Copies of this chain bind each other. A is one copy, B any other.
Amino acid sequence: MTFQIRQLGTADYPFVISVIDQWWGGRQMSDMLPRLFFEHFTDTSFAAERDGRLAGFLVGFVSQSRPGEAYIHFVGVDPAERGNGLGRLLYETFFQAAGARGCVLVRAITSPVNRGSVAFHQRMGFQLEPGDAEVDGIPVSPGYDGRGGDRVRFIRGLRGSGHGARTQSAAGGLNR
């Protein structure tokens, strides 16, 4: 199973928007992905193609105001492509790009309902950050994003921490 990784670009935007809600099992996700991320953060955002078709993507950036920090905003994998390690490949590509830009840690968040995403981030070496609440043993930050958007927060070092040494193949892990 070979994927071609390249930079994400504005030309990918219409296709991504057309499939994003379906890739998330019907959840309304497109509002969380304005075009600006496909225009202004393309050097740390990646598309994965198989046979010329978009199989997945990652939108991430280097924090402008927090030195050494990087952030993964949005990751999507075509349901038909899950279980092939694509999530892991996209994350590792981002870790490399962020590290090359001087970042020493990466943050990401997800929704508490997305247990597959929580497990994926743990396999990828992320730690769960403390929250003000707990749901089924998972620390949750209530109302973290927008109006009532509870989130699970992740953090992962990029250097010398040993994180990621035991990462396994991603089984459909997505964020959000």
CB distance from A38 to the nearest CB of B (A): 10
A35 touches B71 (CB 8 A): no
Interface of A is mostly: mixed
A44 surroundings in chain B (CB, below 8 A): 64-65
A32 touches B35 (CB 8 A): no
A57 surroundings in chain B (CB, below 8 A): none
Q: How far is the CA of A69 from the CA of B40 in the complex (A)?
A: 9
> In the complex where A66-B40, A71-B40 touch, is A144 in contact with B61 (Cβ < 8 A)?
no
> In the complex where A36-B73, A71-B36, A71-B40 touch, is A30 in contact with B147 (Cβ < 8 A)?
yes
A34 surroundings in chain B (CB, below 8 A): 32, 145-146, 149
CB distance from A75 to the nearest CB of B (A): 14
A43 sits at the interface (CB 8 A): yes
Q: How far is the CA of A166 from the CA of B17 in the complex (A)?
A: 39
A168 sits at the interface (CB 8 A): no
A42 sits at the interface (CB 8 A): yes
A171 sits at the interface (CB 8 A): no
* Chain A residues at the B interface, C-beta cutoff of 8 Å: 14, 17, 21, 30-36, 39-44, 61-66, 69, 71, 73, 143-147, 149
